[in-house]
Structure 1
Amino acid sequence: MNEAHEVCGGDEWRQIMREQILPWVLNNTDLGDDVLEVGPGFGAATDVLSTSVPQVTCVEIDDRLAAMLTERFADVPSVRIVRGDATALNFPDGHFTGAACFTMLHHVPTAELQNTLFGEVARVLRPGAALVASDGIGDDDMAAAHVGDIYNPIDPAGLAERLTAAGFSDVDVRTNDFGWAAIARR
């Protein structure tokens, strides 16, 4: 991530995630007691998940962010940080009771890799488990904030088809001023 993403580690972003984005995205969805969070970044959503579910396993591809999260959540027994690539998860089939990814999918460089990520998440979820996901809708301002960084936004109009192809069902995609949100079942 480029330096513009430092805002994602700040208190204002954490408050927006906690009070606005996560309640809208989660929409009272039960993620169970063993949740996978893909791409936690600076951990704003992890803060909320760690107090609302018994176990959160965060998979972060960025070495620097994974190290920071490991240190930051070292004394939080409900959080486990794994340095890894969500397109090749090192977990058994049907392991997790729920999964979440918030405002990170635009950092996955290609649609093919995004689809691979969706398929891997579906693989490691138990039957009936929910994936909750959100991200911004692509625009010029967001593209400008990603100069020198990966920016590959997902068009919400085709997201339901992509999630269904990855192994999900009961896909619900919504949009608002924050971007798009999806809830899908394995």
Structure 2
Amino acid sequence: MLDPALPSEANALLRAHGLRPRKRWGQNFLCDRNVLDRIVRAAALTSGDHVLEIGPGLGALTRALAGQAASVTAVEIDPLLEPILRETTGGLPNVRLVFGDFLKLDLGSLLEEAFGGGPGVVAANIPYYITSPLIERLMGQKGRICRMVLLVQQEFAQRLAARPGTDEYGSMSVFAQYHCRVELLGTVSRHVFVPPPEVSSAIVRLTPALPGTVAVQDEARFFRLVRAAFSQRRKTLLNTLSTAEAGLSRAEAEALLRRCGIDPGRRGETLSLEEFARLAAG
């Protein structure tokens, strides 16, 4: 059997099935055992863990995960990869393949089938264009997830882990860091993929926090204020919160900021999660 973790054999698999990586779905297949091992170690799997893998591609990570976990449910959007995946995972009784669009599947049912009654682990090598909606969707079910280990574009990983006052810090930083403990575990060269993407990637681990990493009574208000604060990065909080999105008049925005001890002349990118939580409570 050809090994999808080796670049030459991954290419041979594709040729044997008359396939080429499809740009439509951002297909860049990870073909490096060292990186696969790093992802599996980051997942900290035990023999009793159940894993949901999103985007198995040729099955290299699927095989590595199956060697450590009780089961792996792998969701692949590209039906043309089914013959390859059935070939590369055919000897693994603890692997279940699902073909469909993860963003459109019934996530509650999928997690029930993948994890059973308890929480499980998510692992994925995902294309940049679906990273944000994928993470947002998973956060809606974070009580069912122990941890997520994602291989994403390096720039996006830096945004997830960014600190206040940096160029990378934005609404996605606040969203991720409210819902999870975010750990940036290292970069991955573009040259370990078939075909190589244009940019480097990074491994990030997200460990869900229930209900969140800071105390927030009204999450809808919290995130509404976060989105408004970052809607125009060069403007002050007084201006960005005096909008329909924030639901505040200029006088109300100024009063709220002063009650919370926050200078109305600051910009949203300087606020910590704790300060956003104060605004939401104010």
TM-score range normalised by the length of the shorter chain: 0.5 to 0.7
Letter of the 1:76 counterpart: L
Which residue does the alignment assign to 1:100? 123
Letter of the 1:182 counterpart: V
Uncovered stretches (5+) of structure 1, i.e. residues with no partner? 138-153
Q: Which sits farther off after the overlay, 124-133 or 44-53?
A: 124-133
Asked if structure 1 preserves the Cα contact closer than 8 Å seen for 2:51 and 2:123, the reply is yes
Q: Does 1:162 align with 2:136?
A: no
Asked if structure 2 preserves the Cα contact closer than 8 Å seen for 1:39 and 1:61, the reply is yes
Which residue does the alignment assign to 1:120? 137
User: 1:115 and 1:7 mapped to 2: Cα distance?
Assistant: 18
Q: Does 1:38 align with 2:49?
A: no
Larger Rg: 2
Q: Does 1:63 align with 2:79?
A: yes
Letter of the 1:162 counterpart: M
Asked if structure 1 preserves the Cα contact closer than 8 Å seen for 2:127 and 2:152, the reply is yes
User: 1:173 and 1:7 mapped to 2: Cα distance?
Assistant: 21
Deviation at 1:175, TM superposition (A): 3.3
Q: How many residues in Structure 1 have an aligned counterpart in Structure 2?
A: 157
Asked if structure 1 preserves the Cα contact closer than 8 Å seen for 2:148 and 2:206, the reply is yes
User: 2:131 and 2:188 mapped to 1: Cα distance?
Assistant: 23
Secondary structure of residue in 2 paired with 1:22: helix
Letter of the 1:29 counterpart: A
Which residue does the alignment assign to 2:150? 133
TM-score (norm 1): 0.67
Q: Does 1:181 align with 2:203?
A: yes
User: 1:168 and 1:30 mapped to 2: Cα distance?
Assistant: 21
Secondary structure of residue in 2 paired with 1:157: helix
Which residue does the alignment assign to 2:90? 74
Identity level (%): 23
Deviation at 1:77, TM superposition (A): 1.3
Secondary structure of residue in 2 paired with 1:155: helix
TM-score (norm 2): 0.47
Deviation at 1:52, TM superposition (A): 0.3
Uncovered stretches (5+) of structure 2, i.e. residues with no partner? 1-20, 162-170, 190-200, 209-282
1:76–1:128 distance in 2 versus 1, CA, 3 Å? closer
1:30–1:123 distance in 2 versus 1, CA, 3 Å? farther
Q: Which sits farther off after the overlay, 63-72 or 118-127?
A: 118-127
Alignment equivalent of 2:182, drawn from 157, 171, 177: 171
Structure of higher RCO (CA pairs closer than 8 Å, 6+ residues apart): 1
Q: Does 1:15 align with 2:40?
A: no
Letter of the 1:158 counterpart: R
User: 2:27 and 2:156 mapped to 1: Cα distance?
Assistant: 25
Deviation at 1:28, TM superposition (A): 5.9
Across the aligned residues of Structure 1 and Structure 2, the Cα RMSD in angstroms comes to 3.2
Asked if structure 2 preserves the Cα contact closer than 8 Å seen for 1:40 and 1:58, the reply is yes
